[in-house]
Amino acid sequence: MDSVNTLTLFLYILSTAGYIAYLFLQKAYLQRIGYALLFVGFLFHTLTIGYGFVESDHIPVGNLRETLCMAGWAVAGVFLIIQYRYNIKILGIYAAPFIAFTMVIVAQLPDEPTQTQTIFKSVWLISHVIVIFIGEAAFALACGIGLLYLLQENAIKTKRHRFFFKRLPSLDLLDTVGYACIVVGFTMLTLGLITGFVYAKSIWGRFWSWDPKEVWSGITWLFYAALLHERLAVGWRGRRSAIMAIIGFGVLVFTFLGVNLLLEGHHKDFTKV
């Protein structure tokens, strides 16, 4: 399986190179190559994760390596769908390096076999993990789109129409896609929390146990809920929405990694090095 892992990483890095070349040279075929490479990389990635699942008989999120590997996979999958749906070509310049970087870190981490605990084998847990990862991937992309939005808005406001102005799409498209990512992310996060509660109830007998991860997930959820509420209520869009998406992702990364690394709690195992 090691060679497949290397191949996957190699494809992601090539895809990144393709997107960087596209950014500078603006040839449409470069973007198509980058997309195709990422797609093939994603297929191999899926294969690895599926293999890990079958082999160990539980969802492979037993240590930091597996968790990050799963995160990279989710971002790749959601990116492929978003790109296909909205044809927002330039997004790859954020997504491909993001995925490649995650996978480089994965390759650096030790691959230790994880002890299977019986509590990991539950339909609720599996759906909890998958749904949460998809949601987090969508938020990661929303953050990238937010960054692109700020770049483009800055170019328009300061009237400097150099590099980015020509390469980035319209503010309207960036805003629409960013919003779509947040809606998807929020829906998934909500489902993830619900399945988590159900799972917690079935294992520990209570829905909520003030675990730091739970608390921070709640904070993240409230943050995105506020963003969506403002958008629906007073039409918050554009710059503010973009900034919120970026900050939101910061909170999310802390919930995802920071809580496990800095605080104690029952999610600790997932980021064990």
Interface residue list for other proteins (CB under 8 A): 152, 156-157, 159, 161-162, 165, 169-173, 176, 234-240
Closer CB to other proteins, 46 or 176, in the complex = 176
Report the nearest approach of other proteins to the CB of residue 252 (Å).
24
Amino acid at 3: S
CB contact at 8 A, 74 and 134 = yes
Query: What one-character-per-residue DSSP string does 240-263 give?
Result: HHHHHHHHHHHHHHIIIIIHHHHS
Closer CB to other proteins, 239 or 266, in the complex = 239
Number of H helices, E strands in the chain: 10, 0
- Owner of token pair 């921070």: 216
Report the nearest approach of other proteins to the CB of residue 232 (Å).
10
Among the listed residues 219, 226, 223, the one whose alpha carbon sits nearest the alpha carbon of residue 263: 219
Closer CB to other proteins, 96 or 147, in the complex = 147
Using CB atoms within 10 Å of the CB of residue 99, give its burial: 0 to 12 exposed, 13 to 18 middle, 19+ buried. buried
Report the nearest approach of other proteins to the CB of residue 174 (Å).
9
Report the nearest approach of other proteins to the CB of residue 159 (Å).
5
Residues 191 and 188: their CA atoms lie apart, in Å, by 5
Closer CB to other proteins, 115 or 162, in the complex = 162
Closer CB to other proteins, 157 or 273, in the complex = 157
Report the nearest approach of other proteins to the CB of residue 26 (Å).
9
